[in-house]
Structure 1
Amino acid sequence: MTAPLNGKLATVFGGSGFLGRYVVRALAQRGWRVRAAVRRPDLAGHLQPYGVVGQIQAVQANIRPEYRWSVERAVEGADAVVNLVGILAESGRQTFAAVQANGARVVAEATAKAGIDTLVQLSAIGADPASAADYGRSKAAGEASVRERVAGAIVMRPSIVFGPEDQFFNRFAALARLSPVLPLIGGGETKFQPVYVGDVAEAVARAVEGRATPGTVYELGGPDVKSFKECMELMLETIGRRRILAPVPWGVAQVQARILQALPGALLTVDQVEMLKHDNVVSAAAIAEGRTLGGLGIEPKSLAAVLAGYLWPYRVHGQFTKSRAA
């Protein structure tokens, strides 16, 4: 149920994306007017049902430095700004440096210029200026730029985000329909702490409404810590399919990634292989300091409680498939 409009406006960069739609809905339900700043407003019509007539508006904006004017226009008159824009693989001018490092800086500069104090920046567990992966370094650079320009900026670092439109469980479930073998990069020992997209959106919304500590970096993870292999096993159990899980040594994965990243869709990149060499879980320091979902008063949903609700199309007979594995 949507609350009465509270007279406040939030600009959400990347508002039409996987996480963006959930953030827009969470803010709209709280009575915020939402300006979804996206590259293609004509493809953001799916956001309209999340609010009442006129509550959600899609505007054109591109956070790459050469389009700074569009960012400044998008934040004009806003009370809060959220930057969710990020990429998993580079493509053309959409590079890690342009989008995740320089783009975050452009958003922060526009926010500061407009005199807006509330800025929430989406980053990722694994953001590190010393990371061997361009992805991790660019996320860290974006964080630094944001915190330097907006003192009270709040950074959210989720682990792998799962939900109906995710590119992790959906991708491997789709592969399981076609292939008898699923690859386990590096043996599948990398640990994740998958976090439900709705919980991440709730954390962002609470930060926007002032329920998070300004200037803080939060690490967001679900209740389950699972290895890559365990994630694949749970996914296969959920869709009722038996598949061979084949370990792929790091060296072989690097060679495969060099080939695959040049193909349309970039199923695997060298950068992603580098990121997989490190566990992706909430740190002990974040837990001790309350910089987690729990610290924000959010009880995270488990994989088991959510996966079956959206992976059923990958079962042999869809929602009518019996529990026996195929």
Structure 2
Amino acid sequence: MDSFAFINLVGLLFEKKQGDFNRIHVDALKNISLTANKLKISRLIHISSLGIENSVTSLYARTKLLGEQGLRKIFPSATIIRPSVIFGADDNFYNQFALMAKFSPFLPLIGGGKTKFQPVYVGDIAFSIIRILEDVSLNGKVFELAGDKIYDFKEILSYILKTIDKKRILLPISFSLAKIIGFLAQILPKPPITPDQIELLKYDNILSGNYPGLKELGIFPLTVEEIAPKYLR
């Protein structure tokens, strides 16, 4: 066996069928941990998600946290990375709303657009993984990765529209109405929003301050303004 490290980036944003979150976030991670032990892999890095300790009403968050807890029992020296919303050329957040703006006369301000995010560049996450692999003293730690800037949901949508040069109505939608829309959207192969994602939007996705992050890894994060104009169209 030539590999000395496992890096698990597998995760789901939505379920195609009931139980998918548990199968991937909990069961699959357990199997990866057991396999790493069996093969005597020395390093295991798991990419989780920021804010899962607080997002108690979201099944996505609960299964992510359960997966972390199972990982700790089987492979205690694993390093866990919890990124905020990730941006980059093929991201599923900025690109998703930019695409929506091309076909819809409005963009939904779910919950009034007050949810806060601290987006992090995918390249900075990659550099973080490299730094962690280079330093065995980081085994067993949890890292929260986020950019320096905090934006609310309304600011993010406004920035997307400005960047792609589109004028759209930002329409406030209550969480309850958004969940109905999300429920109906689940019939699509790749739904733009799901009821569980609406639950996540009830919680801010920013650093807790309880764990080390990019600063402790010696990384100065790139901003959305530096990167997004290169790929948002």
User: Into which bin does the TM-score normalised by the smaller protein fall?
Assistant: over 0.9
1:229-248 deviations in Å (ceiling 9; x for gaps): 10011111111111110010
Provide the rounded CA distance (Å) in 2 between the counterparts of 1:107 and 1:285: 27
2:124 maps to what in 1? 199
The one of 269, 272, 281 aligned to 2:206: 281
The one of 156, 164, 169 aligned to 1:231: 156
Provide the rounded CA distance (Å) in 1 between the counterparts of 2:133 and 2:17: 33
1:101-137 deviations in Å (ceiling 9; x for gaps): 1111110111111111200001001223871111001
Tell me which of the two structures has the higher relative contact order, counting C-alpha pairs closer than 8 angstroms and 6 or more residues apart: 2
SS at match of 1:247: strand
Deviation at 1:94, TM superposition (A): 7.3
Provide the rounded CA distance (Å) in 1 between the counterparts of 2:52 and 2:141: 15
Matches of residues 55-204 of structure 1 in structure 2 within 5 Å?
A: 76-92=1-17, 95-128=20-53, 131-204=56-129
Provide the rounded CA distance (Å) in 2 between the counterparts of 1:185 and 1:246: 8
Tell me, which stretches of 5 or more residues in structure 2 are unaligned? none
Work out the number of aligned pairs and report it: 233
The one of 174, 185, 199 aligned to 1:249: 174
C-alpha contact (below 8 Å) 1:126/1:275 kept by paired residues: no
1:269-294 deviations in Å (ceiling 9; x for gaps): 111011110000011222xxxx1011
Amino acid of the residue matched to residue 126 of structure 1? G
C-alpha contact (below 8 Å) 2:96/2:192 kept by paired residues: no
Provide the rounded CA distance (Å) in 2 between the counterparts of 1:155 and 1:202: 15
Could you tell me the percent identity over the aligned residues?
Answer: 38
Please say which structure displays the higher CA radius of gyration.
Answer: 1
Deviation at 1:211, TM superposition (A): 6.1
Tell me, which stretches of 5 or more residues in structure 1 are unaligned? 1-75, 315-326
1:208 maps to what in 2? 133
Runs (4+) of structure 1 moved beyond 6 Å? none
Provide the rounded CA distance (Å) in 2 between the counterparts of 1:246 and 1:211: 49
Provide the rounded CA distance (Å) in 2 between the counterparts of 1:104 and 1:198: 24
Amino acid of the residue matched to residue 271 of structure 1? D
Provide the rounded CA distance (Å) in 1 between the counterparts of 2:108 and 2:163: 18
Provide the rounded CA distance (Å) in 2 between the counterparts of 1:142 and 1:117: 20
Deviation at 1:224, TM superposition (A): 1.1
Provide the rounded CA distance (Å) in 2 between the counterparts of 1:117 and 1:94: 31
SS at match of 2:112: coil
Provide the rounded CA distance (Å) in 1 between the counterparts of 2:124 and 2:137: 14
Provide the rounded CA distance (Å) in 2 between the counterparts of 1:93 and 1:206: 37
Amino acid of the residue matched to residue 104 of structure 2? S
Provide the rounded CA distance (Å) in 1 between the counterparts of 2:223 and 2:88: 11
Deviation at 1:93, TM superposition (A): 7.6
1:82-111 deviations in Å (ceiling 9; x for gaps): 000001001148700000111111101111
Query: For residues 85 and 212 of structure 1, do their structure 2 counterparts lie closer, same or farther at Cα, with a shift above 3 Å needed?
Result: farther
Provide the rounded CA distance (Å) in 1 between the counterparts of 2:58 and 2:18: 18
Provide the rounded CA distance (Å) in 2 between the counterparts of 1:81 and 1:93: 28
User: What is the root-mean-square deviation in Å for CA atoms of aligned residues?
Assistant: 1.6
Provide the rounded CA distance (Å) in 1 between the counterparts of 2:172 and 2:59: 25
Amino acid of the residue matched to residue 302 of structure 1? T
TM (normalized to structure 1)?
0.69
Matched, 1:301 2:222: yes
TM (normalized to structure 2)?
0.95
SS at match of 1:187: helix
1:255-310 deviations in Å (ceiling 9; x for gaps): 11111112221111111011110000011222xxxx10111111000010001111
SS at match of 2:97: helix
